[in-house]
């Protein structure tokens, strides 16, 4: 946290890379959210089971569409199994250092079984239900992350579990109607990383109606601020095997590099094999 934990100006300057008005002192819970950062190196100390259960209870306290609670969480503590996922991903060896690895899953199966229990048809196997399961899952994971931060734990979401979904699914024994949304490393931080600079609100937040007329100008300024604070390594850019290394690349260019190459384009086909209609 900053020297003055409730210093709005310092927290917003760290998050956006621009000056901010001091404003009123922030309550600790809000200051902690503004100071959130990912953790990618962990101490070997275990996460006590009662603490993990409490954090999962906090996750289950998140909003849920129509109280349907369409998600599940697979808790992994076996270091051999966690390392197997790390090895499949290949570029994130630090995953194996996490004492806990959670796999957050969208879950339509439970609702289908409830319909069977009450002799009613499950009439909502569609794209909207898929979206609801994903959103329910993401909301719960986000609340878990905030709760973990509150007790000094570190976390990092791992979307790459979907890049190896054909391996992760049998490893976790996921039945039809259940699919992984994201992994999440959990553990005691070895060190705190720097705050990741975010896009300015004028790019992300729209008032009354969507308006990106000034996008190019604002992104150019953001690229400059971000490059000054955390320049991208020439050989660490996305898809460098296609576009090659480059000195002085910007955040927006690196984003374009990633988005220009299809990722997980077989995901819809996978979901259909798992019982999702998506119509």
pLDDT of residue 279: 87
Q: CA distances (Å), 62 to each of 35, 71, 143, 195, 196, in order? A: 21, 12, 6, 25, 25
Whole-Å CA distances, 111 to 114, 124, 177, 182: 5, 10, 9, 21
Residue 117 lies in a domain: yes
Q: Quick check: is 277 in a domain?
A: no
Closest by alpha carbon to 56, among 151, 134, 133, 132? 151
- Identify the pLDDT of residue 5: 55
* Residue 77, both tokens: 């503590």
Q: Does some domain include residue 211?
A: no
Does residue 243 fall inside a structural domain?
no
Instruction: Compute the distance between CA of residue 193 and CA of residue 9 in angstroms, rounded to an integer.
Output: 20
Specify whether 144 is located in the same domain as 189: yes
Mean pLDDT lowest among 2-6, 52-56, 84-88, 183-187: 2-6
At residue 21, the pLDDT reads: 86
Same domain for 182 and 94? yes
Encoded tokens for 179: 């699919």
pLDDT, averaged across the chain: 94
Same domain (yes/no): 84, 125: yes
Domain co-membership, 144 together with 55:
yes
pLDDT digit string, tens, across residues 199-237: 999 999 999 999 999 999 999 999 999 999 999 988 888
User: Does 9 share its domain with 82?
Assistant: no
Residue 224 lies in a domain: no
Per the domain annotation, does 249 fall within a domain? no
Range of the domain at 157: 49-193
Are residues 18 and 151 both part of a single domain?
no
- Assess whether 23 and 59 both reside in one domain: no
The CATH number that applies at residue 158 is: 3.40.109.10
Each residue's pLDDT tens digit, 2-58: 444 578 999 999 999 999 888 788 999 999 999 999 999 999 999 999 999 999 999
For the chain, how many structural domains are there in total?
2
Same structural domain for residues 12 and 95?
no
Domain shared by 145 and 98, yes or no: yes
Same domain, 68 and 147: yes
pLDDT grade for 241, boundaries at 50, 70 and 90: confident
Q: What is the pLDDT of residue 186?
A: 98
74 and 150 together in one domain: yes
Q: Is residue 268 part of a domain?
A: no
DSSP secondary structure string for all residues of 182-228: EEEEEE-BSSPPPPPP---HHHH--SSS---TTHHHHHHHHHHHHHH
Q: Is 162 inside any structural domain?
A: yes
Longest dimension (CA), the chain: 63
Nearest to 277 by CA among 135, 131, 175: 131
């Amino acid at each position: 946290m900053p020297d003055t934990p409730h210093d709005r100006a310092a927290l917003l300057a760290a998050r956006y890379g621009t000056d901010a008005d001091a404003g009123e002192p922030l309550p600790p819970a809000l200051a902690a959210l503004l100071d959130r950062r990912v953790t990618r190196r962990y101490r070997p100390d275990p996460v006590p089971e009662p603490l993990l259960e409490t954090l999962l209870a906090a996750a289950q306290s998140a909003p849920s569409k129509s109280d349907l609670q369409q998600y599940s969480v697979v808790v992994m503590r076996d270091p051999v199994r966690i390392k197997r996922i790390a090895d499949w991903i290949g570029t994130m060896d630090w995953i194996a250092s996490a004492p806990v690895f959670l796999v957050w899953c969208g879950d339509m199966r439970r609702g289908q079984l409830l319909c069977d229990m009450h002799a009613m048809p499950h009439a909502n196997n569609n794209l909207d239900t898929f979206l609801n399961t994903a959103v329910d899952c993401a909301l719960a994971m986000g609340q878990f992350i905030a709760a973990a931060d509150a007790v000094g734990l570190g976390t990092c979401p791992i979307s790459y579990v979907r890049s190896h979904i054909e391996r992760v699914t049998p490893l976790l024994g996921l039945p039809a109607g259940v699919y992984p949304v994201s992994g999440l490393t959990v553990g005691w931080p070895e060190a705190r990383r720097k705050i990741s600079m975010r896009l300015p609100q004028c790019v992300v937040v729209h008032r009354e109606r969507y308006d990106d007329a000034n996008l190019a100008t604002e992104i150019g300024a953001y690229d400059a601020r971000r490059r000054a604070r955390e320049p991208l390594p020439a050989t660490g850019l996305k898809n460098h095997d296609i576009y090659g290394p480059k000195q002085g690349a910007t955040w927006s260019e690196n984003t374009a590099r990633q988005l220009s190459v299809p990722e997980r384009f077989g995901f819809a086909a996978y979901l259909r094999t798992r019982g999702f209609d998506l119509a």
